[in-house]
Amino acid sequence: VQPYRTLTLDPSAQVLNYGQSIFEGMKAHRTAEGRLVLFRPGENAARMANGASRMSMAPPPKDLFLRGVEEVVRANAQFVPPNGKGSLYLRPLLLGTGAILGLGPAPSYTFLIYCSPVGGYFKGGQLTPIRLKVEETFHRAAPGGTGNTKCAGNYSPVLSVQLQAKEQGFSDVLYLDAVENKYVEEVSSCNIFAVFGKKLVTPQLGTILPGVTRKSIIDLARSKGFEVEERPLSIDEVLTADEVFTCGTAVVVSPVGFIEHGGKSRTFCEDGPDGSPIPGPVALDLYQSLTGIQQQSREDPFGWVLEV
């Protein structure tokens, strides 16, 4: 473990010229008893290894990944916020730092982990329903591409439309598939679910990121008696849902209050006594169950939490 510092790279480092870079996102929480815990870190290690394979990179061994994450948390224990006040966000990075002029895999790689305390992801705080704009021109990923990895190149292309949407008062952008331009895929940095009574529907894996939170929500929902379908989900169907919510490491579970698609729009969340939209009951229940497990205030029947 070393103090946070800048990196020195050769100008011909593969990552600077050809983009060999993947990352992970995960959190450490402080429980009410003061323990430090991680949530399903083995899933992040496996996803980084899969992404590394797709990007022709040498993956860090699982034991090295897990040991590094735990050591970073221990070394930065003083920066983990109090229980219920936030978390310590961890960013494992795998970079092709070896020098190479011609197109090819880097001859060497750098694996590192840095961290920062964080609060709510979206403006307005956790559980404040968000407003989404459906993007009809640009796409986040295409079949056969790298949309199912956390390679760095997947993220900057969303910024232009995301910034435009935020200028118009939206929280983020909802992307459609690149083939038919009618099936929802992901928000810029999180997965999406639609609720129809006791059934949850979420886009199937393929071009979208296999989110750790997504996987956990599916297991949680099924344990509560919900039917969960992973299949193509059209934007027209989404606009008829009882509830819509997004999920991810950064956003946790975020209810969607409004979606605009061309000339159509739909408001999902009712207003509370103060006039502010309130989250739907399914999103709220799943959020409370998930965060309760993550912070060890609820039973963990799945064995997801690892004490540091």
Any idea of the CA torsion for 263, 232, 210, 160, to the nearest 10 degrees? -20
Active-site residue, from 27, 85, 133, 150:
150
Short-list 308, 172, 164, 305, CA closest to 244: 172
Give the whole-angstrom CA distance, residue 248 versus residue 90: 14
Short-list 185, 182, 179, CA closest to 206: 185
Report yes or no: 254 and 131 within 8 Å, Cβ to Cβ. Answer: no
150 is catalytic: yes
Report yes or no: 149 and 276 within 8 Å, Cβ to Cβ. Answer: no
Report yes or no: 221 and 286 within 8 Å, Cβ to Cβ. Answer: yes
Q: Quick one: tokens of 303?
A: 């064995």
Catalytic amino acids? Answer: 150
